[in-house]
C-alpha cells in the first residue's frame, strides 16, 4: 500500500494545520502518516505543484488558506482531481461570522503580525541562546528562571523548551573547580532551580556523549568518582542557595518543564500569561 501522506498547505507557516493533522493522525495507530509542508502559498502555480504530487499518491490535503481566489481554486481543483481537501479554518470562521456578526479580513500571516506572544517567544529564545551555559552572567538577574546543575543534566534543552513557552531562561553549570557566580546567591531563591540526576544515569549519558565525540569512555569526565564529586558539590551549592531541586533522571524535557513550572507556581512565583 502506498505511503499515507497529508499535504499541509498554507498561505502562512502552516504550523496550525500541522498541529491539527498530528492531533487527528494520533488517533489512528499512533499517527504513522507523512506530513509534507507547502508553506507561504501565494499563487495558483504553488497549488498546481501540490496537485501534481498529490494525485499520484495516497494523500489528503489539509489547508489553512484565507485568500478567497486561492481557496476557491483549491476546492474546485480538488473536486476535479478527486482528492480530499479539508479546509481547517473555514468552519470556525463561519461560526464567527454567524454568531458575532463580523466579517474576516481574509489576510494571511496576521498572527505573525499581531500576536505579541510570537515576539515574546522569539525574544525568549534569543535570551536562552545568549545566556546558555553561563556564557554571560548578566543574564542571571534578568532571567525569569535560572537553571543550575552539572554537565549533561538537560539544562540547555530545558532552557530552549521553556523559551518556546516565552520564559527567559539562563543556565549555569556547576563545576567543583569553578566558584559559582555571586549572582546566584543574590537572586530570589525561588527563581533558581537545581537539576540533579542519578550517578549511574549520568555515567551512561556522559559515556554516550564521549562516544559521539570519538573520545575514549575512560576519560575522567565520565568516571563514576568524578561524577559523584560533581553531584556532591552541586548539591551543596543548591542547598546553600535554598532553591527547589528536580531529579531529571529518566524524565522527558516536557515532563521536567511541567514539574518545574508547577513547583515554582506552588512556591508563589508569578509568571506572565
Binding site as annotated, residues for ADP: 149-156
Local structure of residue 144 (DSSP, 8 states):
S
Residue 272 banded pLDDT, cuts 50, 70, 90:
low
List the chain domain ranges: 4-114, 116-266
Domain spanning 116-266, CATH class: alpha beta
CATH among 3.40.50, 3.30.1380, 1.10.760, 3.90.25 for 4-114: 3.40.50
Local structure of residue 215 (DSSP, 8 states):
-
With a pLDDT cut of 70, the percent of the chain lying above it is 95
Q: Decide: pTM greater than 0.75.
A: no
Question: 498529490: which residue's cell?
Answer: 54
Binding site as annotated, residues: 149-156
User: What is the radius of gyration, based on Cα positions, of the chain?
Assistant: 25
CA dihedral of 210, 215, 216, 219, whole degrees rounded to 10: -70
Q: Pick the closest to residue 172 from 136, 199, 205, 142 (CA basis).
A: 136
Over the stretch 151-199, which tens digit does the pLDDT of each residue have?
999 999 999 999 999 999 999 999 999 999 999 999 999 899 999 999 9
d(CA 98, CA 191): 46
Query: Ranked by mean pLDDT, which of 27-31, 86-90, 207-211, 234-238 comes out on top?
Result: 234-238
Asked whether this chain's domains 4-114 and 116-266 adopt the same fold, the reply is yes
Long-range contacts of 186-191 (CB under 8 A, 24+ apart): 186/141, 187/140, 187/141, 187/146, 189/241, 189/242, 189/243, 190/243, 190/244, 190/264, 190/267, 190/268, 190/269, 191/143, 191/144, 191/145, 191/146, 191/269
- DSSP string of 70-86? HHHHHHHHHHHHT--EE
Residue 113 pLDDT > 60, yes or no? no
143 three-state secondary structure: coil
With a pLDDT cut of 90, the percent of the chain lying above it is 68
Residue 114 pLDDT > 60, yes or no? no
Amino acid at each position: 500500500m502506498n505511503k499515507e501522506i497529508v499535504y499541509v498547505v498554507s498561505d502562512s507557516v502552516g504550523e496550525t494545520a500541522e498541529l491539527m493533522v498530528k492531533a487527528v493522525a494520533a488517533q489512528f495507530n499512533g499517527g504513522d502518516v507523512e506530513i509534507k509542508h507547502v508553506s507561504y502559498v501565494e499563487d495558483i502555480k504553488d497549488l498546481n505543484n501540490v496537485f501534481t504530487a498529490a494525485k499520484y499518491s495516497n494523500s489528503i490535503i489539509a489547508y489553512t488558506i484565507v485568500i478567497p481566489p486561492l481557496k476557491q481554486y483549491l476546492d474546485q481543483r480538488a473536486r476535479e482531481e478527486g482528492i480530499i481537501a479539508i479546509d481547517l479554518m473555514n468552519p470556525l470562521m463561519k461560526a464567527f461570522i454567524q454568531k458575532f456578526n463580523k466579517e474576516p479580513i481574509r489576510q494571511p500571516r496576521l498572527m505573525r503580525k499581531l500576536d505579541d506572544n510570537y515576539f515574546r517567544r522569539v525574544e525568549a529564545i534569543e535570551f536562552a541562546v545568549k545566556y546558555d551555559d553561563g556564557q554571560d552572567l548578566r543574564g542571571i538577574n534578568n532571567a525569569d528562571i535560572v537553571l543550575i546543575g552539572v554537565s549533561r543534566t538537560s539544562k540547555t534543552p530545558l532552557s530552549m523548551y521553556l523559551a518556546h513557552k516565552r520564559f527567559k531562561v539562563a543556565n549555569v553549570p556547576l563545576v567543583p573547580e569553578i566558584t559559582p557566580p555571586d549572582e546566584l546567591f543574590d537572586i530570589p531563591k525561588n527563581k533558581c532551580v537545581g537539576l540533579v540526576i542519578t550517578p549511574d544515569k549520568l555515567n551512561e549519558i556522559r559515556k554516550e556523549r564521549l562516544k559521539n565525540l570519538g573520545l575514549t569512555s575512560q576519560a575522567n569526565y565520565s568516571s563514576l568518582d568524578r561524577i559523584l564529586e560533581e553531584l556532591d558539590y552541586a548539591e551543596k551549592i543548591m542547598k546553600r542557595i535554598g532553591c527547589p531541586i528536580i531529579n531529571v533522571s529518566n524524565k522527558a524535557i516536557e515532563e521536567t518543564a511541567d514539574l518545574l513550572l508547577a513547583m515554582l507556581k506552588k512556591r508563589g512565583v508569578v509568571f506572565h500569561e
